[in-house]
Amino acid sequence: MTAARTAGAPTPGRERARRFGFRPFRTWTLRSRVVLVVVAMLAVLGAVIGTVSVLALQNYLMERLDQQLISALERGQHTADRINAGGPTNPQAQGVVTTPGQPTGTLGAVRSAGGGLLFPPVILSDQPSSTTDQPLGPKQVTINGLALLTVPADSQPRTVDLGDALGSYRIAAAQLDNGDSVIIGLPLSEVTATTQQLTLVIVLVTLAGLIFAFLAASFVVRLAMRPLARVTETAEQVAHMPLDRGDVALSVRVPEEDTDPHTEVGKVGSALNRMLGHVASALTARQASEQKVRQFVADASHELRTPLASIRGYAELTRRSPHELPQDVTRSLGRIESEATRMTSLVEDLLLLARLDEGRELDRDPVDLSLLLIDALSDAHAAGPDHTWHIDLPEEPVEVLGDAPRLHQVVMNLLANARVHTPEGTKVVAALAVDTSTREAVVTVSDDGPGIPEELRSTLFERFARGDSSRNRATGSTGLGLAIVSAVVEAHGGTVTVASEPGNTVFTVRLPLVGEQPPAGEQPVEEAAFPAETVEDPVLEPGVEPAPENTPASEDTREGADRE
């Protein structure tokens, strides 16, 4: 017993069709299917009409030929009986084919009562004889005598094949008075020729009709499908709109002439317009709600800056007062000051995101990314001396047009993210290159840490996204660091991506270049590999203070953060 076919598995026929480039009928466009069905129906109808017409004509011609054959047989029978006069068959009985009224091509023969042919068969020819100029002379022919011997003497016409030389004949036999039989036949060549000619005419006319029907159906169906094409164009236009973010003015609608409820396409267009109206209302409500939330966050962040500054100031003032305070009070004041600092950074991040959401313009000045990476890596080295830091820079400066403090924050957040979520001894590489094919500056921050789980990568740049759902104070992560990176990079017209696997995690930032064309020798940079060459750890500038361990703008999601 054969195993049951797996559900959904392609059949051998479908596999062969796919191999030769044929698509299943159900995957064809509606226009193609309608045209094909119309042409197929006309082809079947033409075949049926043609077959019936040819058969009807053939039957009519055969009936006429049979009537002629019966008349010729009666004339031949009377002629033979008159010549024989009741006695044995006279050789002159061969003249049955020359009896007045016999059609050209008539075949005549006389069969004895014993079953043999008495004389060679003759055919009434329309060609002159070699010895006389008189046409319609009989001529002897060589045929298959057995075919004539088997014809019953019942005066019923039958079709007999007399060989390649003569073809098919309608033959009938009648018994003479002396017991012999006279055999008369008429050729089927005219009937066959007429039938074949009619078949050819019908085939040609049918083909011409099918071609015309195909062209006419294609034009009519294309004309009828125009409203559906306009509805589809509207749907595609809406499908390409960024409805998931920002201000959405969903004013696209199906034209009024394509929303007639009395037609199928009109019903689809009307339903699509109603759906777009509901979607527009939902988007407007969503936008209003988001705007209120952004305004609240911006207002709250702005208002919280002053009291937080006061808390920090009073805590620091109290801690540095000349009065000697108990050790636990001093420690509590230090914690208050530390947490106020942390909360101030969080408020600043929220305020920055709110401003970016509102679309506020950033500064647009030339920024040297080489110097920016050196400064950022120096700060990161001071904040994480237990990591191995490397930098890879091109020989020529790379400049972009943007906001220097915000771009510095982007690089700092990526370096801090690598520092916080990787174990001691991890190598972190900050690299800068130029992609000549896209005219972009490419900043990569890579590390050989444990990597980012695949299920976290889709939400990595969302706000408050964390690999650990608990707000672990040890890492100080707020889930805003990479969200700020994404928002700032997008505000500069760039992109940020991540590629990660155990032992190799790469964040890639692409920003449009400004200034002259980069050197022609520069090659596009691979986004998911460490730079080939690195330099030693940068020398910290004098007076640079280590960055705070709990800088909330620098931490984001990465599972396995078990230190800091």
> From the centroid of its chain, how far is CA 412?
43
Of 315, 337, 360, the residue that ends a domain is 360
Token code pair at residue 324: 């000697």
Nearby residues of 531 by Cβ (< 8 Å), 6 or more positions away: 392, 429, 431, 433, 444, 446
183/107 Cα distance (integer angstroms): 8
Q: Are residues 440 and 298 in the same domain?
A: no
Least confident of 20-29, 75-84, 187-196, 278-287: 20-29
Token code pair at residue 34: 């309608």
Of 318, 336, 360, the residue that ends a domain is 360
Q: Are residues 537 and 419 in the same domain?
A: yes
Report the domain count for the chain. Answer: 3
Q: Are residues 436 and 532 in the same domain?
A: yes
559/379 Cα distance (integer angstroms): 24
Is the model's pLDDT at 548 over the cut of 70? no
Q: Are residues 46 and 63 in the same domain?
A: yes
Q: Are residues 318 and 428 in the same domain?
A: no
CATH assignment at residue 142:
3.30.450
Per-residue pLDDT, 431 = 93
The chain-wide mean pLDDT, for the chain, equals: 78
Q: Are residues 278 and 370 in the same domain?
A: no
Per-residue pLDDT, 29 = 80
Which residue, among 509, 401, 388, has the nearest Cα to 449 in the 3D structure?
Answer: 388
Per-residue pLDDT, 57 = 94
Q: Are residues 121 and 261 in the same domain?
A: no
Is the model's pLDDT at 363 over the cut of 60? yes
Per-residue pLDDT, 248 = 66
Q: Are residues 328 and 423 in the same domain?
A: no
Residues of the domain holding 525: 363-554
Q: Are residues 382 and 444 in the same domain?
A: yes
Q: Is 130 inside any structural domain?
A: yes
3-state helix, strand, coil in the chain (%, to 5): 50, 15, 40
Q: Is 213 inside any structural domain?
A: no
Q: Are residues 356 and 368 in the same domain?
A: no
Q: How many CB atoms lie within 10 A of CB 336?
A: 17
Is the model's pLDDT at 223 over the cut of 80? yes
Token code pair at residue 517: 């064309």
Query: How much of the chain exceeds pLDDT 70, in percent?
Result: 77
Q: Is 162 inside any structural domain?
A: yes
Give the model's confidence band at 69: pLDDT under 50 very low, under 70 low, under 90 confident, else very high. very high
The residue type found at 516 is E
Q: Is 351 inside any structural domain?
A: yes
Q: Is 136 inside any structural domain?
A: yes
Q: Is 202 inside any structural domain?
A: no
263/270 Cα distance (integer angstroms): 10
Q: Are residues 120 and 94 in the same domain?
A: yes
Give the model's confidence band at 364: pLDDT under 50 very low, under 70 low, under 90 confident, else very high. confident
**Model confidence pLDDT, tens digit, residues 309-352:** 788 787 777 777 777 778 887 788 788 877 877 777 777 777 77
For the chain, the maximum distance between any two Cα atoms, rounded to a whole number of angstroms, is 169
Strands 122-124 and 138-140: antiparallel
Q: Is 189 inside any structural domain?
A: yes
- Residue 374: C-alpha distances to residues 47, 391, 403, 430, 537 (Å): 84, 8, 17, 9, 10
Query: Which residue stretches of 255-326 are H helix?
Result: 264-319
**Model confidence pLDDT, tens digit, residues 478-531:** 677 788 888 888 888 899 999 988 888 999 999 998 754 344 334 444 433 333
Least confident of 91-100, 184-193, 343-352: 343-352
Q: Is 11 inside any structural domain?
A: no
Which residue, among 460, 462, 461, 390, has the nearest Cα to 432 in the 3D structure?
Answer: 390
Q: Are residues 48 and 165 in the same domain?
A: yes
SS (H, E, C) 104-147: CCCEEEEECCCCCECCCCEEECCCCCCCCCCCCCEEECCCCHHH
